[in-house]
Amino acid sequence: MNDIKLGQYVHGYSLIHLLDPRTKIICCTFIVISILSNHNFWYLLAYLGLILAAIKYSGIPYKSIWRSMRGIRYLLLITFLFQAVLTPGEGLIQLGALSVTREGLSIGLINLLRLVILFLGSILLLMTTTPMKLSAGLEYLLLPLNKIKIPVQHFTTIISISFRFIPTLVEESIIIKDAQRSRGASFDSPKIFSNIKSYLAILIPLLASSMLRAEELAEAMDSRCYGGNPNQYRMQSLKYRRVDIYLIIFMTMVLFMGLFLG
């Protein structure tokens, strides 16, 4: 339970850690826009290099990133294969009725790169920003939505509570699973339906206990005067420094480069 999970915050003091969360969120948005609007292979490759450099700089070991990459390897593989096979064009290799095309390979490669960059970018954001800072940054950036009566603070409170409770729920589901198993339930039956059934037996107690948890949590929040007002303290801890501004200028330039090179 204690090893690093996908995208969980890793404490550190690198430049990337110390960046303002707003900067990081804005940069990630820029990454998404420029990646999705551009399909120049070399541009994407350069982008990948940029993100790898940022990861290196953040002090997060490549090993843990690599391990989390393995979680999406099938997604990557399938994306690549489908693109390679299903794109019409100049055939290279014939596989029965399907043919791998040159165009397919290049589009597949580009989409692969895009996915990897998106994944690495968001994982870097998550691993170098505490959930609270992240929600403070989101709250600040979304605050204008308050004007059209969208309760942004409630959303960010919900986000931070889910960050808090995901590990607790995982732990609890393991306990329930063990309890079921100790009474003879099997979770790796070859029959899909009996498998689904036994997982249902985990889900229902988990849901019931979550309801109870929610009630107690609400009481605890109430008794500490939670009022859903904007979280001034958290947001005031956000401070733009010179690096943040440089980085945003730099990323804007990269974004425009992407838009025009496209």
Chain positions contacting another protein, by CB under 8 A: 2, 9, 11, 130-132, 160-161, 163-164, 167-168, 171, 212-213, 216-217, 219-227, 229, 231-234, 236-237
Q: How far is the CB of 140 from another protein (least distance, A)?
A: 14
Q: What are phi and psi of 196, to 5 degrees?
A: -60, -40
Q: Which is nearer to another protein, 48 or 155 (CB)?
A: 155
Q: State which amino acid sits at residue 230.
A: P
Q: How far is the CB of 147 from another protein (least distance, A)?
A: 22
Contact residues for 64 (Cβ-Cβ < 8 A; gap 6+): 4, 10
Q: What is the DSSP letter of 83?
A: H
Chain Cα centroid distance, residue 208: 28
Q: Which is nearer to another protein, 177 or 213 (CB)?
A: 213
CB 96 within 8 A of CB 27: no
131-156 residues labelled b (16+ CB within 10 A) or e (exposed): bbbbbbbbbbeeeeeeeeeeebbeeb
Q: How far is the CB of 234 from another protein (least distance, A)?
A: 7
Q: Retrieve residue 15's tokens.
A: 């430049």
Contact residues for 9 (Cβ-Cβ < 8 A; gap 6+): 126, 127, 128, 129, 130, 131
Q: How far is the CB of 2 from another protein (least distance, A)?
A: 7
Q: How far is the CB of 166 from another protein (least distance, A)?
A: 9
Q: Which is nearer to another protein, 217 or 243 (CB)?
A: 217
Distances (CA, A) of 139 to 10, 145, 168: 22, 10, 24
Q: How far is the CB of 160 from another protein (least distance, A)?
A: 6
Strand partners, 91: 101
Of 24, 6, 7, the closest CA to residue 15 belongs to: 24
Q: Which is nearer to another protein, 53 or 166 (CB)?
A: 166
Q: How far is the CB of 74 from another protein (least distance, A)?
A: 29
Q: Which is nearer to another protein, 103 or 172 (CB)?
A: 172
Q: Which is nearer to another protein, 157 or 198 (CB)?
A: 157
Q: How far is the CB of 156 from another protein (least distance, A)?
A: 12
Contact residues for 102 (Cβ-Cβ < 8 A; gap 6+): 89, 90, 91, 92
Q: Which is nearer to another protein, 91 or 131 (CB)?
A: 131
Q: Retrieve residue 106's tokens.
A: 């290049």
3-state secondary structure of 224: coil
Q: Which is nearer to another protein, 233 or 260 (CB)?
A: 233
CB 14 within 8 A of CB 83: no
